[in-house]
A and B are shown apart, each in its own frame.
Chain A
């Protein structure tokens, strides 16, 4: 029943999004891209795809950073076009997607100011999807409380930040904790929002967000080994929406090394598969890449169903993965370091 009313508000944008999705590079394109000798070749090939003339007005010689910027710019334009045409509840949904970029931007800026970098140098590095008005004045704040009171209280992130105010001052450790607490709150809120929306959106998005939450929990655990983060603090950072919640998270909280994390993952079929092939030796894929691959798979699956908002999220994530792939290949081409050029993550 939800589906029959979906097209009234979301039909155009869903169609548009699916159209955009068809422009995502295929395996055949990647095979051609990895054969490129120079960045000019890369540009020439990308001209034959949906990217069209996006690099046509860039003077030679090309730099990887320019390609990166232009790829991102194109994605941002597409996303913002969709956001501008969206109505409730899709607009809130799309806003939710941008919050994660806001979190990243805030953390980037705070870390930057902590290292005495001028703010004007940091701003261009921020993701344009996560920019907000007060962003550039972030370096006024010296403590989390100030950060909240002066800067974030007006932004949509305010409710997520409430848990962080208690932190004493902004040092590297605390920033990392703030980031993860924010992200935890954000994921839980987004998850709840999608659940409320119900229908196919809930089905597809909860699956993806649950994986995102579990990935964060696992990575936080692995990264915490050998740092001063206590186990109690670590538990507070786990987003409680994934499949690992509650038993898996409890087990993770007790883990002391990588093997124990792996043992926890053994209980979950899909995560076991990810841990099995992962490793840091040559010829093996890193756990991170394995996670990315799984994420791509989930996002591709979102397109199998119709009449839901998951496609917008998935499109953005897939496109981001594609940007990472193209930049990786471009980087390999530019540095003449071809042995690892095949380490991109194919999407279709």
Chain B
């Protein structure tokens, strides 16, 4: 039965020995069948009993995240065997903590070393670049002025400065490296702050350098600034500091520079080897961690989940045991008992846990068991609304109706095959694909709904065959039942010709399966299909809605709600049948009674009535105005019957609206004096034991908030009003909405060629 209704639930009280609680909850967690209730809702998150353990888990998770980040940085693949380790015992937590602590410290140390080394390396490379680039600056000058003139003087184009200083002046310079994007403001600032008395040359370092702190690749430039005097020097240095430029000593004499460059090169090489070793060490540490990290994550998260659950429990007065309240599906009580026993054994506790069923007036939660096939459909239904406890679950029917209604719109054999094969691929590969844990939202929608898509594809193939559409082309399998009965000259001379079904052009019996392929070449294909698909849509829609109303009957029967059957279901079904099912009936009458291959004008295409107009006239109590040759009505007594149907259907609306609340009100009025009388009697006689017991029971039972016995009568009226309006307007607008089946089918057919 559980396929059609949510599970039978029971509220249970669970007494767990405090030493066995952890392993019991662990076992129950693996089972995943219980819903625990928070027994201390007023207690803050940080004042609960196991908050320290939760915090330790947080800390472990943080370390693991750090490890994971580092592993990702190095691009080491993380081993995911897909295994599901059990939650470790609390005492193992300390081991785990120690392991993580050790790993983290080791890694941090390695990183620190590596960073220091990298910084060193960066400095040396920058120095190398400076020596190389500045060489170019110096060379340029020497090459430019072959005379023996001081090279530094030639750098200053403005002679006035040199003249002012009288004679060759000693220009100082600083060289350094700066981020490339900071060059323009740097230059501007130098100009402004030093009033144009400095000279800046810069050259880009082509290869990007690695920033040791963030290990990002950054572009930098070498610069050299010439200036005169100490004051300017300090100012330039300040600006360099402000722009985070690193300054390096750069010897003036070319020979010193060459020597320094050599020294730098050897030191870079030395450093490279050391750096490689550090990297190797880091890689080894991380590779070892990468093997276990997924496992560790699962373990830590399980521990955390267990302690979170334990935080929901109550401690009893003696502190010896924990009390939990949970919702349990009654069917699985055995399994839960078994799991509890396993948990107790594992913890080595001697006292078995106690699972008590409690009586409650609260509404239990809805729990629908699903498997991998139904879960997609269940999610689809739950997205619209979760049924109340033990209400009929619409999901099983959706398995057929949803893909089918989709297919009515999508109907195309070719597209259906594509869709079904994509879904079939997902279904066949579901194990390997599921293990990949792809995070993308779009992918997860497709993967989660793979069975839905598969069914949608298969149904689309069926409707595609019915519509005789394969990538918007037709298949002529059985041979068309129409033939061309015009001679060649007529064919050559006219643009469009009509095939009369009342002539030899038609074989008088239909194409064996689906739509005749001849329609594919017909000019009026769309017009023909429109009327056909519109009617089909309405027919499906009305039956779909009727089915929904019948499900509500099943619910009322299940809950023994006679009142709802009488005052809700019956008027509802009458309303639906008398208006919309009748319209469907008219369609069938039209299909059966009117035909093209008849000589009777009254039953021919000229007199065939429009169902839509007929229906509108029916609701408006108007008689149809047909041409004189035709009958006014489709059958005898139609006018009277239609009026009757509409009147009865409309009369059902006030019944739906008022009957149930009025009945409830009356019932309450009769009930209340009786209750009061009983009470006084009871007090006077003081002897009715049975009644007293009942009374005391009621006092013991806490009155839950959701109890609707005392629901206000106005509330009931409002609810019933909303429900009625929803139903009446809904059935009208839904009928119109089902036309969308046709509209989308049309859109699909028009768009795809």
Contacts and interface: CB of A to CB of B under 8 A. Distances in A.
Interface of A: 32, 35-37, 40-41, 44-45, 47-48, 56-60, 119-120, 133-141, 146, 149-151, 153-154
29 contacts: A32-B44, A35-B47, A37-B46, A40-B46, A41-B46, A44-B45, A44-B55, A45-B45, A47-B45, A48-B45, A56-B61, A57-B62, A59-B59, A59-B62, A134-B185, A136-B241, A137-B189, A137-B243, A138-B242, A139-B238, A139-B242, A140-B235, A140-B238, A146-B193, A149-B192, A150-B189, A150-B192, A151-B189, A154-B185
B369 interface: no
A133 B185 contact: yes
Contacts of B235: 140
Contacts of B258: none
B66 interface: yes
Interface string B51-93: 1001100110110011000000000000000000000000000
B188 interface: yes
B162 to A, nearest CB: 25
The secondary structure that dominates the A interface is helix
Contacts of A119: 241-242
Nearest to B243: A137
A140 B239 contact: yes
B182 interface: yes
Contacts of B54: 44
B37 interface: no
Interface in B209-242: 235, 238-239, 241-242
Contacts of A134: 185, 189, 242
A150 B193 contact: yes
Interface of B: 44-47, 51, 54-55, 58-59, 61-62, 65-66, 182, 185, 188-189, 192-193, 235, 238-239, 241-244
B45 A140 contact: no
Nearest to B66: A57
Contacts of B188: 154
Nearest to A137: B242
Contacts, number: 68
Contacts of A150: 189, 192-193
Nearest to B185: A133
Contact of A57 (B46, B65, B193): B65
B44 A60 contact: no
A56 B242 contact: no
Contacts of A136: 241-244
Contacts of B47: 35
A56 B63 CA distance: 10
A273 to B, nearest CB: 35
Nearest to B240: A137
B187 to A, nearest CB: 12
Nearest to A149: B192
A133 B239 CA distance: 12
B51 A44 contact: yes
Contacts of A57: 62, 65-66
Most buried by A among B44, B51, B61, B65: B44
B643 to A, nearest CB: 51
Given A56-B61, A119-B241, 12 more contacts: A40-B55, A44-B46, A44-B51, A44-B55, A134-B185, A136-B244, A137-B193, A139-B242, A140-B189, A140-B235, A146-B193, A153-B192
Contacts of B65: 56-57
Given A133-B182, A150-B192, A140 B62 contact: no
B58 A56 contact: yes
Most buried by B among A41, A44, A47, A57: A44
Contacts of A41: 46
Contact of B46 (A36, A60, A133, A137): A36
A120 B188 CA distance: 22
A44 B54 CA distance: 10
Contacts of B242: 119, 134-140
B358 to A, nearest CB: 30
A137 B66 contact: no
A318 B185 CA distance: 35
A338 B46 CA distance: 18
A153 B54 CA distance: 55
Nearest to A47: B45
A140 B193 contact: yes
A304 B328 CA distance: 47
A16 to B, nearest CB: 20
A58 B55 CA distance: 13
Contacts of B66: 57
A70 B47 CA distance: 24
Contacts of A44: 45-46, 51, 54-55
A222 to B, nearest CB: 36
A134 B187 CA distance: 11
